[in-house]
Amino acid sequence: MDLIVGTAGHIDHGKTALVKALTGVDADRLPEEKRRGITVDLGFAEMAVGDAHFGFVDVPGHERFVKNMLAGASGIDIVLLVVAADEGVMPQTREHFDICRLLGVEAGIIVLTKTDLVDTETFEMAKLEVADLVSGSFLENSPVLGVSARSGDGIGKLKSVLIDISRSVREPANDLVARLPIDRSFSVKGFGAVVTGTLASGTLKEGDDLELLPSKAKVRVRGIQTHGASVRSVSAGRRVAINLGGIDHSRIERGMLLAEPGVLEPTQTIDTEIEVVADVAKPLRTRQRVRVHIGTVEALARIQVLNRAGELSAGDKGFVQIRLESRITAIPGERFIIRRYSPPITIAGGSVIDNDASRHRKREFENVHGVLTERLSLKTPLDQISSLVKAAGPAGSTMAELRSKTGLSRDAAIGSITELLANGEVREANGRFVTTDAFVALGKLVEEEVAAYHKADPLAKGIGREVIRERHFAFLPDEIFLTVLSDRSDLGKIVIDRDTLRSSTHKTQFSPEEQALSDRIISAYRNAGLEVPKFPDVLGEMVAGTRFSTQEARRFFQMFLESGEIVKVSEEFYFCRSVIGALVEKLRNFAAASPDRMIDMSKFKELAGVSRKYAIPLQEYFDRERVTYRRGDQRFII
């Protein structure tokens, strides 16, 4: 079992000395720390006891270095709240405790240090003071141990208690994408760039391709070390050092994130639920400028409190939109801390609900509250994926979009989608996922539109596909449009004929007068053979003595064109399909008896029995239809 143990407490209360007494490692690694005798930045050590391995993150206690403390506090499993028995609870004790509580740390030990400097009464007073501080929190029933790093008293007991607590710490989630918030970057001669951090989720393997966020620089894992030993892979919850290829360490800094490429998107707007610290002097107000600490990054931001009052007072909980001044990378459920811009003190903390939110207006707040409350209730990957697909509406979501919005691993996301597809809740449309209800509703919309078109124009072949797209799918992805049409066709509801859609049950029904006009038109062309009159003359003759106008006759004529019974040869001449078919047969019989398959104008006129007026447009039509092809002044029958 691997666990991360973090220290917390006021400056000079013995955090670094405690870590050294436990591990034998002086976590103060910087020359400045040695010179000044205080911890300035994060320090690291480790200890193995039986089958348990503890990685220690020693944090600075000075108020000026709280931002460094925050870079190490995220990702810890157990906190050692360190209080000097001779001083008791101090300002940074309170702030560090609030930070651990707001970050969702669930396990810890209260360690009263410097017991060799106090008597029993003073020690008991310190215990009471600490008990008052942690009352009602995750540390309320935690062990309280007295130790002396100088003499070693209590260190053995502390190790034993750490082992006991470690057995109850929950394993980190394994259904999230691989993420390493970077807390250090440096170069090692002969190896290049090295970064360190606590692996927040997922698994990293030697040879993995990753990306550095928010810059999206592509890197490769050349080597991995954990607990001082080289390994081929590492899982969530461990302190790791990663040797990266493809980048210089000068391009990497604390606050960046290593992650599986192409999944997480940097953002500047997140929806959150927060809790304001109980003893803050002023409310947290809309448009207030703050410092947001998430993972190992510190970013400036403005607050939008999502209530009508526009503020949250001390101890309040509520929904807040955080509008960042720079891009960060976050996932739903990730914890963060909010500090006042100036002076920088901790005022709130919370968790991310929507890691890529749109900006909200006051009139939307009530609806936003409902959405965020529902999102908070989603505990499993299946629930999260289902909710996101539903929220996407008829546009649906891609797998990339779903993973970006949830931070789920590929296996967890695919497993959830597979289950939703199997139970019929979701349909796939060429890589997009949409709820079955939304998909079916779109299909019925298409059917209704086609039926309405037939009712309005019963002579028309059908409605243009692009008309349907523009009316109902203009703002939807093509994948949805094409899959809906294909689905309706497969179900036998519509017929797709090139660019036209028609109902599978549609039949043209004529009145006796309409049938008479229809018969006159088709008979006229059939009887005319290859010596048809010009198109305008045909229409005029067809409506003579009837109640129909030329325009109405044109609609009947269009119906025959769409059905293929009449063939357009040129703008002036149209022929009956059976007549054209008979001429094609004559041409091919002629070609079979001709060695060179060549036919000139004279022979064509003789074969067709027409004048040049008809021969020229017919020959050009046959060229277009690949019945013949022209070479110079000669034509050959294909």
Inter-axis angle of helices 601-608 and 612-624, nearest 10: 100
pLDDT above 70 (res 30): no
pLDDT at position 123: 92
pLDDT at position 33: 53
- Residue corresponding to tokens 């001429």: 583
Mean pLDDT in residue range 488-499: 86
CB proximity list for 542: less than 8 A, separation 6 or greater: 517, 520, 521, 524, 548, 553
What percentage of the chain exceeds 70 in pLDDT?
93
- Measured in whole angstroms, the distance separating CA 623 from the mean position of its chain's CA atoms is 53
pLDDT at position 553: 72
pLDDT above 80 (res 156): yes
Cα separation of 157 and 168, whole Å? 18
How many of the other CB atoms lie within 10 Å of CB of 461?
A: 19
What is the 8-class DSSP label of residue 551?
A: H
For residue 63, name the pLDDT band (cuts at 50, 70, 90). low
CB proximity list for 280: less than 8 A, separation 6 or greater: 314, 347, 348
* Type and span of the H or E element at 439: helix 436-456
pLDDT per position as a tens digit, 575-616: 988 899 999 999 999 988 888 889 888 889 888 899 999 999
What is the 8-class DSSP label of residue 321?
A: E
* Type and span of the H or E element at 337: strand 335-340
Cα separation of 140 and 160, whole Å? 20
pLDDT per position as a tens digit, 96-148: 999 999 999 999 999 999 999 999 999 999 999 999 999 999 999 999 999 99
Average pLDDT along the chain: 88
346 neighbors 277 (Cβ within 8 angstroms)? yes
Residue 2, token pair as written in the block: 């691997």
Inter-axis angle of helices 512-528 and 535-543, nearest 10: 140
Mean pLDDT in residue range 188-214: 92
Across-strand partners of 85? none
Pick from 11, 3, 20, 24: nearest CA to 61: 11
pLDDT at position 11: 84
Across-strand partners of 240? 197
Q: Which amino acid is at 228?
A: G
Residue 518, token pair as written in the block: 């229809």
- Residue corresponding to tokens 């013995």: 14
pLDDT at position 434: 97
pLDDT per position as a tens digit, 517-535: 777 777 888 888 898 877 7
Q: Give me the phi and psi of 602, to 5 degrees please.
A: -60, -45
CB proximity list for 370: less than 8 A, separation 6 or greater: none
pLDDT at position 431: 93
Question: Pick the residue with more confidence: 611 or 64?
Answer: 611
Provide the CB-side half-sphere exposure for 299 (13 A, CA).
25
CA distances from 277 to 98, 99, 287, 343 (A): 7, 9, 19, 15
Provide the CB-side half-sphere exposure for 423 (13 A, CA).
9
pLDDT at position 566: 86
pLDDT at position 405: 95
Residue 40, token pair as written in the block: 């300035």
> Strands 78-84, 43-49: parallel, antiparallel or unpaired by DSSP?
unpaired
pLDDT per position as a tens digit, 313-329: 999 999 999 999 999 99
CB proximity list for 2: less than 8 A, separation 6 or greater: 52, 53, 55, 226, 227, 237, 238
How many of the other CB atoms lie within 10 Å of CB of 478?
A: 12
pLDDT above 60 (res 504): yes
* Type and span of the H or E element at 434: strand 432-435
pLDDT at position 126: 92
Q: Give me the phi and psi of 54, to 5 degrees please.
A: -110, 125
pLDDT at position 509: 62
Mean pLDDT in residue range 278-301: 94
pLDDT per position as a tens digit, 417-463: 999 999 999 999 999 999 999 999 999 999 999 888 877 777 677 78
pLDDT above 80 (res 28): no
pLDDT per position as a tens digit, 372-412: 999 999 989 999 999 999 999 999 999 999 999 999 999 99
pLDDT at position 229: 87
286 neighbors 304 (Cβ within 8 angstroms)? yes
Pick from 260, 256, 243: nearest CA to 202: 260
Query: How many angstroms separate the first and last alpha carbons of the chain?
Result: 79
Cα separation of 452 and 447, whole Å? 9
Residue 191, token pair as written in the block: 């190896």
For residue 339, name the pLDDT band (cuts at 50, 70, 90). very high
Q: Is 600 exposed, middle or buried (0-12, 13-18, 19+ CB in 10 A)?
A: exposed
Burial 126-143 (b: 16+ CB within 10 A, else e): bbeebeebbeeeebeebb
503 neighbors 494 (Cβ within 8 angstroms)? yes
CB proximity list for 503: less than 8 A, separation 6 or greater: 447, 450, 451, 454, 462, 493, 494, 495
- Measured in whole angstroms, the distance separating CA 565 from the mean position of its chain's CA atoms is 52
For residue 508, name the pLDDT band (cuts at 50, 70, 90). low
pLDDT above 90 (res 189): no
Cα separation of 361 and 365, whole Å? 7
Collapsing DSSP states into helix, strand and coil, what is residue 155? helix
What percentage of the chain exceeds 90 in pLDDT?
55
Cα separation of 75 and 59, whole Å? 13
Give the domains, in start order, of the chain with CATH numbers.
2-166 (3.40.50.300), 179-252 (2.40.30.10), 267-372 (2.40.30.10), 379-509 (1.10.10.10), 510-638 (1.10.10.10)
